[in-house]
Amino acid sequence: MRKLLTVTLLALAGTSAFAGGYRVSLQGQKQLAMGHTGVAVVNSAESAFFNPAGLSFLEDKFNLSVGASALFAKTKFQNEKYNWANSTDNMGTPFNVYASYKINKWLTAGLAVYTPYGSEVEWDQDWEGSHLVNNINLKAIYIQPTLSVKVSDEFSFGGGPIYVTGSVEFNRNLNRSLTDENGNRSDVTLDGKGISAWGYTAGFMFNPCDKMRIGVNYRSEIIMEARGGDATFNNVPAFAQGTYSNTTFDADLPLPAELTAGISYNITKKWMVAFDYNRTMWSAYQALTVDFANSVPTSVNARNYHDTNTYRVGTQYKANDKFTFRAGWYKDESPISAGNFAPETPRNDSNGFTGGLTYQINKKLGVDASFLYLHFDEIDASYDHYTETTVVNGQPVTSTIPFGGTYKSVVFSPGVGLTYSF
């Protein structure tokens, strides 16, 4: 039971969908096409996410960017020793809306609404790893108002609060063998709604010359607070119903702080290159504590995550007044330590390959298209913290039972968006 809630609340931390080792970055069609660089790039209202300071340097008074992506994720699992094999195919539809309005020459207001944690993982019910997870469905919406101040033509700064609201639904079997009187595996569904949290973002942008921009952006740690989540037990045999009765749970979970620094350079009037470096402070997630409303004791579970780096490279080429082409690549490290690789977050170090274009319909309206192919390194890994209690010679004995095998994951995501300005 305690392990069940540990895994569930871990999902709230960011699967996001695929955050860190299990995140897919889809926060803007133009910048995604450039390897998801953007902290030192100014080309649309997408700066509201990547670096609010950049909004002050947009030429138009009003800017709007809207977009959505179709996320297709596939993970294969195999354990040759026990001849286990399974796979999960899932689809998500993350979206984003960014807007900015130039109040005067030095002050710009912005708003960002986006879904960085909006996908799911669904294995076969009662599969070999069902004691860890059968399925997860996680949804989160970020709402971020910002202000950007242009100090001079060379320097600006900006930022604002971040409000997060979301929900999660999670199902797993209670253990590896428990069934009801009819042979149906016992499981539990956890449903958490109305989960909310606050954080902030702040950044600056410096233009040392006409061809170069330097940008830095920081996102604070955000504490997700799950309060009064519902735990519903299914197919529980009569003798265990006193233990596995419907209840609620509370837990606090950190979403790590991020620091991103980058540079962009215009090689010519048409050709720009950009590089971003991101440091995610995953070491804040050392353990998860879960409190229950009934007699189940408080659960403290070690995670021992480590800080990670992401390296991003992108380029943009404006062929003419109608077409602009983009391409990029990034390397994303996983924060998951050895022995903590669970099948509800089957992600490892990854390489992302991106591309896309803009077709400018007229001076005000353009259509943006992007694609992402994300390849995760194949990994042999295990989850070593699952325990079960059995009776041996009339005495309860608790054993740790690792679960592992070979995981291979890929993600493909095409996206489309519109930009409008005047």
Task: List the chain domain ranges.
Answer: 2-421
Q: Could you give the 3-state DSSP secondary structure of residue 347?
A: coil
Task: Give me the residue label for tokens 């991103």.
Answer: 260
Per-residue pLDDT of the chain in tens (422 residues, 90 and over written 9): 434 333 333 333 333 334 344 456 789 999 999 999 999 999 999 999 999 999 999 999 999 999 999 988 888 999 999 999 999 888 888 899 999 999 999 999 999 999 876 557 889 999 999 988 898 887 778 999 999 999 999 999 999 999 998 887 888 898 899 999 999 999 988 888 888 899 999 999 999 999 999 999 999 998 878 788 888 889 999 998 888 888 887 777 777 889 999 999 999 999 999 999 999 998 887 776 666 677 655 665 667 788 999 999 999 999 999 999 999 999 999 888 888 887 877 678 889 999 999 999 999 999 999 999 998 888 899 989 888 877 777 788 888 999 999 999 888 999 999 999 99
271 residue type, one letter: W
CB 370 within 8 A of CB 29: yes
β-strand 155-173 against 135-150: which pairing, if any? antiparallel
Phi then psi dihedrals of residue 402, to 5 deg: -65, 150
CB 419 within 8 A of CB 30: yes
Token code pair at residue 324:
């602009």
Phi then psi dihedrals of residue 386, to 5 deg: -80, 135
Q: Is the dihedral of CA 145, 202, 289, 137 positive or negative?
A: positive
Other CB atoms within a 10 A radius of the CB of residue 269 amount to 8
CB 353 within 8 A of CB 370: no
Question: CA of 405: how far to CAs of 5, 17, 340, in Å?
Answer: 23, 22, 13
For the chain, the distance separating the N- and C-terminal CA atoms, rounded to the nearest angstrom, is 56
Other CB atoms within a 10 A radius of the CB of residue 124 amount to 13
Best CA proximity match to 334, nearest among 276, 397, 376, 387 = 376
Check whether domain 2-421 has CATH 3.10.310.70, yes or no: no
Task: Give me the residue label for tokens 């690792």.
Answer: 402
Q: Could you give the 3-state DSSP secondary structure of residue 77?
A: strand
* Measured distance CA(421)–CA(293) in Å, rounded: 52
